Chain A
Amino acid sequence: MSAFTEAVLIQTGINVLLALGYWIAVSTGKYSFGHAAFMAIGAYGSSILTLKMGWPLPLALIAGAVVSAVAGALVGWIALRLSMLYLAIITLVFSELLITLLNQWDYVGGGSGLLGMTGTTVTMVLICVVLVVAYLILLTRSRMGLAYEAIREDERAAMGSGVKITLVAVGAFATSAAVTGIAGGLAAHQQLIINPGLYGPQQSLIIILFCVFGGVQYFWGAAIGAIVLGLLPIYFNGLADWYQIIYGLLFVVLMIVRPQGLIGRSRAGIFPVGLSLRRAAPEPEPRVREEESVG
């Protein structure tokens, strides 16, 4: 395998992990706008362990994922009980805060970041993808997955069926953060160098677009979105400056022609950003709203 092919495979695998990780949160109807923060936690966490403590990469990756999951649980616990708009703001602010913190933290090189991480192999990435896919297959067939869907469909009805919505959603968010953290760690140990600037809103947006492009109804839709979108810049780099314009146009066309993404049945309510925002935004917090005021 040429070094180029190898790099492309690793990059694609990491993109797939990012999309699948994000999909776990999305399957409960929760859209984070700062998921790159969990990549950063996984990347910095594992890099510190391999560079400064001499840990083997697989162990460092797992540790990074655990830290990322804890951070995800904390952010989720604060944000997930609020409406979608607040979740978007809190996740975005969290990622910005983290970047600021990393920029100021000399131990991890501040703004210039860390240098010299290596060790990510195609096999390692492949194992991670297989494990996550296996988890998702089991998840989507389980009652836990059903509870995720219940929360996505109607939180109030889910509460009324005995689903502990905050606990379940926080669990999903933490799992999502863990997978994203692993992807971040793998990426860091492929690209040799990391710095806080890599994990800004731009990167968070890329992860969201993987999912939206592929479709959020099935997890493999998100994976396909990541593969297609991830390969575009590699094989169309001849387009140079035109690339961004075409990228943007692609999404405009997609939103019009297939709002549900590449994969998935067309159905009202499945399209994430537009409809969910409209549905969630005007509702105040759950325990004080009721239809009685009009009826």
Chain B
Amino acid sequence: MAEPLLQATGLSKSFGSVQALEDIDVTLHEGTIHGIVGPNGAGKTTLLSVMSGYLLPNAGTVQLRGRDITGLTPQRRVPLGVVRTFQNIRLFGGLSVLENVMIGQHAHARTGLSSLLPFRTASDRRLLAEAKDTLELFDLARYGKRPVSQLPYGVQKQLEMARAMATRPKVLLLDEPAAGMTTEGRGQLSTRIRRLRDEGVSVVIVEHDMDVIAKVCDEVTVLNFGRRIMHGEPLEVLSSAEVRTAYLGT
């Protein structure tokens, strides 16, 4: 098999006496969607935070195409193509949808003193057009200049994904994108995530909604109490007795 795109090896992380992750391996292959499931407190978000650079692991490495990125901050991973979303939405609440997406382009745009010059270069215009396209793609263009903190929850979730896409990621790390969505919204979300994969973005998705997991994932890793208890294809994993026990208790 080809070299994995993102590989987490032997990750451990503890908070005080709580072992949030223990010797976790996750491999994301290019062009695939990898689901992370598990009961509350299993360590899913911690895993995502370690992979995106928000947390340093106590042990283990994260590699992007063979390059060790374990110690890089999120702002250094973004230009390499690794970006995440948050379980509890984190937008720039006072800014507009367009401004939020433009901040997502930060790593690709002129942002130093030269960005102060009162004229736009060709690349500035291209980026602005790209930002507007992204808004169209996520059906957000109609929200105009309103501060995004005033927009409905579902729209904010869309915007967070749009902003993440504006960074031009190779690896998109989604933390519970379906939480709080309507059934219809979840359907659209599944379609959208698959379309992103078809366009060449590889996805790691933490999700509680098993419908979404079953629909979009190529591979699934199950965590429980910080350990990997299973790994495989979605149907196989979701129907296994061990996973059912972990979720339902014994």
* A interface residues with partner B (beta carbon < 8 Å): 135, 138-139, 141-144, 146-147, 149-150, 153-154, 156-165, 267, 269-270, 286-288, 290-293, 295
CB of B2 within 8 A of chain A? no
Which one of B25-33, B42-50, B136-144, B183-191 is at the interface?
B42-50
Q: How far is the CB of B111 from chain A (nearest CB, A)?
A: 5
Which B residues form the contact surface with A (CB < 8 A)? Answer: 15, 18, 20, 40-41, 43-46, 49, 52, 54-56, 73-75, 78-79, 83-84, 86-88, 90-95, 99, 102-104, 106-107, 109-113, 115-118, 147, 163-164, 166-167
Using known A-B contacts A290-B45, A291-B88, A292-B45, determine if residue A147 contacts B94 with beta carbons closer than 8 Å.
no
The reply to whether A161 and B87 form a contact with Cβ atoms under 8 Å apart is no
Chain A interface helix/strand/loop/mixed = helix
Pick 30 A–B contacts, CB within 8 A, sort by A: A138-B118, A141-B118, A142-B116, A143-B111, A144-B111, A144-B115, A147-B103, A147-B111, A149-B92, A149-B94, A149-B95, A153-B92, A154-B91, A156-B54, A156-B90, A158-B92, A159-B73, A160-B90, A160-B164, A162-B78, A162-B79, A162-B104, A165-B75, A287-B55, A288-B56, A290-B46, A292-B15, A292-B45, A292-B49, A295-B41
User: How many contacts between A and B, using CB within 8 angstroms?
Assistant: 124
Contact A143 B106 (CB under 8 A): yes
Name the B residues within 8 Å of A139 (CB-CB): 116
- In the complex, besides A150-B95, A153-B92, A291-B88, 20 extra interface pairs with C-beta distance below 8 angstroms are A141-B118, A142-B115, A143-B102, A143-B106, A143-B110, A149-B92, A154-B93, A156-B90, A159-B54, A160-B75, A160-B78, A161-B163, A162-B78, A162-B83, A287-B73, A290-B49, A292-B20, A293-B15, A293-B18, A295-B41
Point out the residues of chain A lying under 8 angstroms from B79, CB to CB. 162
Task: Specify the chain B residue showing the minimal Cβ separation from A217.
Answer: B94
With A165-B75, A293-B15 given, is the CB distance from A146 to B99 under 8 Å?
A: yes
Closest to A168 in B: B111
Q: A161 near B106 (CB under 8 angstroms)?
A: yes
A147 and B84 CA atoms in complex are apart in Å by 18
- Give every chain A residue within 8 A of B116 (Cβ-Cβ): 135, 138-139, 142, 144
CA distance A165 to B75 in the complex (A): 8
Which residues from chain A contact B94 at a C-beta distance below 8 Å? Answer: 149, 153, 267, 269-270
Shortest CB–CB separation between residue A10 and chain B, in angstroms?
Answer: 28
**Which are the 10 A-B pairs with shortest beta-carbon distances?**
A162-B78, A162-B107, A153-B92, A157-B90, A292-B46, A292-B45, A138-B116, A159-B74, A142-B115, A143-B115
Which of B40, B52, B75, B86 interacts with A163 by CB under 8 Å?
A: B75
Which chain A positions have C-beta within 8 A of B73? 159, 287
A164, B53: Cα distance in complex, Å: 13
A160 x B88 contact (CB < 8 A): no
Identify the closest chain A residue to B83 (Cβ). Answer: A160
- What's the Cα separation between A147 and B118 when bound, in Å? 17
Q: Are the C-beta atoms of B84 and A143 separated by less than 8 Å?
A: no
Q: Which residue of A lies closest to B160 (CB)?
A: A157
Q: Contact check: which of B54, B84, B93 meets A153 at CB < 8 Å? A: B93
Asked if residues A161 and B167 are in contact (CB atoms below 8 Å), the reply is yes
Contacts of B95 in A (CB 8 A): 146, 149-150, 153
Question: Are A154 and B90 interface neighbours, CB within 8 A?
Answer: yes
A255 and B20 alpha carbons, distance in the complex (Å) = 44
Task: Tell me, rounded to whole Å, the shortest Cβ–Cβ distance linking A80 to chain B.
Answer: 14
Please give, as numbers and ranges, the residues of chain A lying within 8 Å of B117 by CB-CB distance: 138
A146 with B103: CB separation less than 8 A: yes
Which chain B positions have C-beta within 8 A of A157? 86, 90-92
